[in-house]
Amino acid sequence: MAVKFFGQFLVEKGIVSREALLRAIELQEQKNLKFGEMALAMGYVTPNDIERAHHAQLSRDIKLGDLLVEIGILTLTQLNEVITRQKNNHLYIGEALVLVGAFSNEQLQQHLNEFKADQAPYISERVELPAGIPNPEVWEMAADLTYKMITRILGLPFRAGKCQAVTTVDTNFVMAAMDLSGDQDARFIISVSQGLQKSVAKAILRETSVDNEPQEVLEDTVMEFVNVVCGNIAAKASQAGRIVNINPPITIRPDAGGLAVPAGHTGLCFPILVGDGETMQLVLLIKN
């Protein structure tokens, strides 16, 4: 019921053992050379070049290959040759599991089909963002996955409203947030009205009534929903080679005037239209 990678799916389902997966990962680590190792193996760079570039990377957010081109050690053609060699020689986890004897090639295909079926609900669909947002593909995916989790975890029927850039975020009964870091810093916020908070709590706690639950528990369920959504966003991002780190969720309490989008950030508001006078929003505060 979550975004997974193939190895995790196999261990969770008991198809391969933890030990077999670790042996396969070890084999991958031996075979799949990093960019610098591959460039070295192809004779395009020396260990000294790599050390120089790594040192320069400490003060700059740039990929090793791009930096090696920039400082004149690699040509653009060589950069592309190294990347192509890396791709062509990449040992995938399924192939590695076959090589360590966890299963046969025929079984690999069968398990891949099962995995694809398991992950089908999480295939990304387009979400339209205002123009000029940095890394739009990450935030489109984040919004799309949030919608999917509202359906799958909360079981709430809703309609996604049009995403808008905002300078102030409306306050709401509960606002749960998580700070994201990595390739891009941002704050992910889900806000819900009082009635919806109960719907979230019922779904997370799997109870038919939450009338006797303390407010602390009710708020915690909204934070946990944010935690689950953001963890799955991090997983989906990692499948696309992007790094999204998560932090423990928090609640925020802006005053009645709302939450001003901090300087140097872009605020995106995604209204989640649920009807019955209740309100829900996904808000992303993205560092420019």
Nearer to another protein, 187 or 236 (CB): 236
Site for another protein (CB under 8 A): which residue of 232, 266, 279, 281? 232
Kindly give, in sequence order, each residue whose CB lies less than 8 Å from that of residue 37, ignoring residues fewer than 6 positions away. none
CA distance 198 to 210: 7
Residues numbered 244 to 283 that lie near another protein (CB under 8 A) are 246-248
| From 6-14, 43-51, 130-138, 186-194, span contacting another protein (CB under 8 A) | 6-14
User: In the chain, which ranges are E strands?
Assistant: 159-160, 164-166, 168-169, 174-182, 186-192, 244-246, 250-252, 259-260, 265-273, 280-287
Q: Does 202 bind another protein (CB under 8 A)?
A: no
Site for another protein (CB under 8 A): which residue of 108, 138, 196, 223? 223
Beta-carbon-side half-sphere exposure of residue 248 (alpha carbons within 13 Å): 2
* Residue 5: CB minimum distance to another protein, A: 5
Q: How far is CA 285 from CA 45, 133, 235, 261, in A?
A: 41, 11, 20, 7
| From 5-13, 68-76, 162-170, 254-262, span contacting another protein (CB under 8 A) | 5-13
Q: Does 112 bind another protein (CB under 8 A)?
A: no
- Strands 244-246, 174-182: pairing kind: antiparallel
CA distance 163 to 281: 10
* Residue 13: CB minimum distance to another protein, A: 9
Nearer to another protein, 12 or 51 (CB): 12
Beta bridge partners of 271: 281
Structure token digits, residue 285: 């505060």
Nearer to another protein, 143 or 204 (CB): 204
Kindly give, in sequence order, each residue whose CB lies less than 8 Å from that of residue 211, ignoring residues fewer than 6 positions away. none
Site for another protein (CB under 8 A): which residue of 205, 252, 254, 258? 205
Amino acid occupying residue 168: T
Q: Does 12 bind another protein (CB under 8 A)?
A: yes
* Residue 116: CB minimum distance to another protein, A: 15
Nearer to another protein, 83 or 205 (CB): 205
**Residues binding another protein: number (CB under 8 A):** 40
Nearest in space to 207 (alpha carbons), one of 217, 70, 48: 217
Residues numbered 30 to 49 that lie near another protein (CB under 8 A) are none
Nearer to another protein, 74 or 244 (CB): 244
* Residue 135: CB minimum distance to another protein, A: 18
Q: Are 68 and 78 in contact (CB under 8 A)?
A: no
Chain contacts with another protein (rule: CB under 8 A): 1-5, 7-8, 11-12, 14, 18, 21-22, 25, 152-153, 201, 204-206, 216-217, 220-221, 223-224, 227-232, 234-236, 238-239, 246-248
